[in-house]
Amino acid sequence: MVAGYVISHDVSEREFQLERGGTWDKGKSCETFNPIGPWLVPVDDVPDAGKLRLRLWVNGELRQDGNTENLIFGVGHIIWYISQFMVLEPGDLINTGTPAGVAMGMAGQPYLTTDDVVELEIDGLGAQRQVLGQA
């Protein structure tokens, strides 16, 4: 059962992921990573979670502009799949993915650096703004 939807800024530390070997999880588990909010929108208040526009800007430049209708797997399938490997409890958060435009997939595109401003929003769910600090 899905309680609601929330914006999640799925930050990745690429050095940890690419230069230190192993799985992706260590690059997504740093302190301050994955800020959520500004609020949880109850499922009944989201007319169609499969048709939400997502946008992300870095220093005012639009980097991602997508829609949940382009998810590879729908929310129901993701829950089904994950539940085969772990027990899901009330309050668990599942990130569903990100639209095209992440720096790792862009030739010559710089990664996020100190003092970058990242703004993201999903229609009906709100918006976030983060200023990156030093590591």
How far apart (Å, rounded) are the C-alpha atoms in residues 132 and 33?
Answer: 11
Output 88 or 33, whichever has higher pLDDT.
88
Say yes or no to pLDDT of 41 above 70. Answer: yes
Return d(Cα 106, Cα 100) in angstroms, integer.
9
Per-domain residue ranges of the chain = 4-131
Q: Which of 97, 99, 105, 104 is nearest to 81 (CA)?
A: 97
CATH of the structural domain 4-131, one choice from 3.90.850.10, 3.40.50.720, 3.40.710.10, 3.40.50.300: 3.90.850.10
Helix (H, G, I), strand (E, B) or coil at 14: helix
Cα maximum dimension of the chain: 43
CA dihedral 121, 95, 52, 100 (to 10 degrees): 80
Q: What is the 3-state composition of the chain as percent helix, strand, coil, each rounded to the nearest 5? A: 20, 25, 55
pLDDT of 25 reads 59
* pTM score over 0.75: yes
pLDDT, tens digit, for every residue of 53-80? 999 999 999 988 999 998 888 889 999 9
Is residue 7 pLDDT above 80, yes or no? yes
